[in-house]
A and B are shown apart, each in its own frame.
Chain A
Amino acid sequence: MDRIPILKMGPLLLVSIQVDMHDQLALTLQDDLTDRIVKTRAHGVLIDISSLEVVDSFIGRMLGNIAAISRVLDAETVVVGMRPAVAITLVELGMSLAGVRTALNVERAMEMLQVVTGDGGVTPGEGTDGRHPD
């Protein structure tokens, strides 16, 4: 596979990473996503990593970059489904991905993003982005 597919679901973009990516593939994904966010004027990006058995510093940085870039383009990114062993390892590695919103599964993530993108939604979504909630 030379490209990770990006699906469009209404105002959201959905990426499901199911392969062990080499660095170039990850960089290509970052570029493709950035393009698609602009082209589709997406309001949210959902990155499903529930199939990933390993997330190292390179992938971690990629996720952080995508979150930051999307925010500049007025879209929110949520990283979904990190496995426990991966979370423990990433923290031990020294990456906390502060600034990246996370959710346990796709349904939760869509609730979070819908509220952000929703038309006049009243309640604030249960965001978990590492910032101290006021």
Chain B
Amino acid sequence: MVVTRTEKLPVQASEDVVRVRQAVRRWAVELGFNLVDQTKVVTAASELARNTLTYGGGGTVELENLVEGGRRGLRLTFADQGPGIPDVARALKDGFSTGTGLGLGLGGAKRLSNEFEIRSHPGAGTTVRITRWT
């Protein structure tokens, strides 16, 4: 698997969340995603960017174009140095039932992506990585 293009954007203010959506949309269009897949990855990015800002105290997102075999992918890595999530499993589950706050964002982003990874420890910040393949 090869990374053919990469860019890092700040997620420090609420305008940044909009910029991230627009950047992800541009990259998704260039990669040739269909409209529904574009919408899914942009929406997932919006959720995670907001989490990074609101719960992580601000951070960054790295966008990457992936090539593996013949397929292309868009990978997004959101990172912050915030308080971390104490119970990740619950945060992923809660989102589905309660539909409020942090949970829906994480669980939602996971459902909207092909691949989802999260590393988070209290006091050590949070990193969430999602990938969408064509």
Chain A residues at the B interface, C-beta cutoff of 8 Å: 20-24, 53-58, 61, 84-86, 88-90, 92-95
B14 x A54 contact (CB < 8 A): no
Chain B residues, CB < 8 A from A61:
100
Interface residues on B, range: 20 to 34
Question: In the assembly, what is the distance between CA of A22 and CA of B46, in Å?
Answer: 10
Q: What are the interface flags for B48-66 relative to A under an 8 Å C-beta threshold, 1 for contact and 0 otherwise?
A: 0010000000000000000
Q: Is B111 an interface residue (CB 8 A)?
A: yes
Distance in angstroms between the alpha carbons of A21 and B47 in the assembled complex: 14
**Which of B38, B46, B50 has its CB near the most chain A CB atoms (within 10 A)?**
B46
In the A-B complex, the 10 residue pairs with the smallest Cβ-Cβ separation, listed nearest first, are: A93-B108, A56-B46, A85-B39, A22-B14, A85-B36, A89-B39, A23-B14, A57-B104, A85-B35, A22-B18
Complex Cα distance, B27 from A69, in Å, reads: 38
User: Are B43 and A94 in contact, CB atoms less than 8 angstroms apart?
Assistant: no
Shortest Cβ gap from A44 to chain B (Å): 26
Chain B residues 13-71 with CB under 8 Å of chain A are 14-15, 17-18, 21-22, 25, 35-36, 38-40, 42-43, 46-47, 50
A-B contact count (CB 8 A): 67
Is A54 within 8 A of B50, CB to CB? no
Provide the main secondary structure of the chain B interface: helix
State whether A20 touches B99 (Cβ < 8 A).
no
CB pair B50 A93 closer than 8 Å: no
Residues of B contacting A84 with CB < 8 Å?
A: 36
Choice from B14, B43, B100 contacting A56 with Cβ under 8 Å: B43
Which residues of chain B are near A90, meaning CB under 8 Å?
43
Q: Say yes or no: B43 contacts A93, CB within 8 Å.
A: yes
Q: How far is the CA of A24 from the CA of B104 in the complex (A)?
A: 19
Q: Mark B85-122, 1 if CB is under 8 A from A, else 0.
A: 00000000001100110001101100110000000000
- Chain A residue numbers with a CB within 8 Å of B112 are 89, 92-93
Interface centre among A54, A84, A85, A95 (most CB of B within 10 A): A54
Cross-chain contact A54 with B104 (CB below 8 angstroms): no
B111 and A58 within 8 A (CB) = no
